[in-house]
Amino acid sequence: MERRFPPWLTVVLIALAIRVGYCAWSYRGPYPFADRYREYIIVAQRLVEHGAYLSPLMNDPTTAEPSALMPPLYTFWVAGVFEILGVESLAARIALELANAIALSLACGLVFAISQVLAGTRAAWFAGLMTAFHPALIGYTNYIWDTSFFTLAVVISVWIAIRLGRRSYQARQYFGFGVWLGIVALLNPALTLAYPILVLFALTRDSGLPRRKTLLGIGAAIVGWMIAITPWTIRNYVQVGGLHYVRSGFMLEVWMGMTPEAENAGASAYEKHFPLKNPEVAQHVSTVGEGKYLQERGSEVRREIAEYPFRYGKLIGMRAVDFWLGTVLTHAGPHGKVIPATRHRQVVMMVMSLEILLALVAIASARFANTEGWWLISIVIAFSLIYLFTNVQVRFRVPIEPLFAILLAIAFVAKPNRLRPLDSLTQ
């Protein structure tokens, strides 16, 4: 009997071809190894050359202090590639971008599989191809950042929760899920506010599960999560000082979102205030040290919020709009210019805005009734909350774009009689 080519693999190969082609196209002219985001690159370089996890904000690596600014997993991945292929070499750049392309392509295939389970084959093709051709999920492939791996990790987390939701209860499975979520936090802690939703969905979907087992499952997941993050937490406490949840830059991000530029020229805040963009700030950090600099920014922004609470509230509201519509308010510029300069960013903002419009239409028309859509909606909302209190960039929404594809497939592509319960996973 002839074996059928898996449709999810077709989606993966289509997505991979698009992303590899995009990366190859980016080589058409002079292109630096990384022209905007260098924190991971600097920490990885110093890890390879000096054998220590040093601050990327201090100019001299020989005097730089230990850092907790960047999460460890992607840093160690970049450092490993640098160790084998050379620090910031062309071969290293190709390998890192190819790995990003593979991660995002696998996410597209997993989106197909999840959508097929929840809403049928037609919805799966829609969601899988929408993810494969999504401009934001293409455009960030060649960024040496955790975005691609984190996007895959978000989709895997949803898939695990779905799998647990239809299996018979076993505490060790929730312990393993907690360990996985801790690993995801070490890659990027931004999904943490959605962890309770992921665990509770799997536990409470079976209404017959006793309360005792539900509490044991929650406890097992918490223990697994704590075990995963404890070694890095101890390292940070010993070498950096203080207790930090994975990374130490939260108050710096809050401060960046409270600068004078935050209301109408947010993009320029990094150019003016971030140490890697401003030599004077970099010199100050090199003088006082990363830890002291982060304390200064934290103290300053707490005073600002206490003195101007209504301004901070206004900025939270603006960022709430910006996260969903693509930074149309805080990055509009001093003259109210909303349309971004680059064609790619224009397309990305248009797609993101259209997704939100369609999602609101689906909610208003109750298209998610009796589906898993409300669960996915709660995940994307929880994910967004951290950025309301810090700052917003278009790329911050990229990791949950695959979930929007699944939501829209459920709402507009699947026929009501094709929406299937999670028990269909056994079929």
How do residues 234-247 score in pLDDT, each as one tens digit?
999 999 988 899 99
Average of per-residue pLDDT across 65-81: 97
Higher pLDDT, 327 or 71: 71
Outline where 290-369 has alpha helix (H).
290-307, 309-325, 343-364
Give residue 335's pLDDT band: very low, low, confident or very high (50, 70, 90). very low
pLDDT score recorded for residue 416: 57
Strand partners, 54: 66
Average of per-residue pLDDT across 333-342: 51
Give residue 367's pLDDT band: very low, low, confident or very high (50, 70, 90). confident
Q: Of 422, 299, 347, which is closest to residue 138 (Cα–Cα)? A: 347
**13-35 in b/e burial notation, b at 16+ Cβ within 10 A?**
ebbbebbbebbeeeeeeeeeebe
Give residue 93's pLDDT band: very low, low, confident or very high (50, 70, 90). very high
Domain residue extents for the chain: 169-242
How do residues 222-234 score in pLDDT, each as one tens digit?
999 999 999 999 9
Average of per-residue pLDDT across 36-54: 93
Q: What is the mean pLDDT of the chain?
A: 87
Average of per-residue pLDDT across 134-145: 92
What 3-state DSSP class applies to 313?
helix
Higher pLDDT, 338 or 382: 382
Q: What percent of the chain has pLDDT over 90?
A: 62
* CA dist list (Å): 399 to 160, 346, 377: 16, 19, 14
| pLDDT higher than threshold 80 for residue 396 | yes
How do residues 314-325 score in pLDDT, each as one tens digit?
999 989 988 888
Q: Of 118, 4, 7, which is closest to residue 424 (Cα–Cα)? A: 118
How do residues 398-410 score in pLDDT, each as one tens digit?
999 999 999 999 9
Strand partners, 66: 54
Distance (Å, whole) CA 377 – CA 360:
11
How do residues 372-389 score in pLDDT, each as one tens digit?
788 899 999 999 999 999
Distance (Å, whole) CA 88 – CA 32:
10
- Does residue 332 contact residue 398 with C-beta atoms inside 8 Å? no
What 3-state DSSP class applies to 66?
strand
Q: What is the CA radius of gyration of the chain?
A: 22
pLDDT score recorded for residue 126: 95
Distance (Å, whole) CA 278 – CA 274:
6
Q: Residue 220 is inside which H or E element, if any?
A: helix 211-239
The residue to which tokens 């087992």 are assigned: 213
Residue 147: what residue type? Answer: T
Q: Extract the tokens encoding 348.
A: 């990305």
| pLDDT higher than threshold 70 for residue 208 | no
- Does residue 242 contact residue 303 with C-beta atoms inside 8 Å? no
Lowest average pLDDT, out of 12-21, 24-33, 151-160, 304-313, goes to 24-33
| pLDDT higher than threshold 70 for residue 300 | yes
E strand intervals along 44-201: none
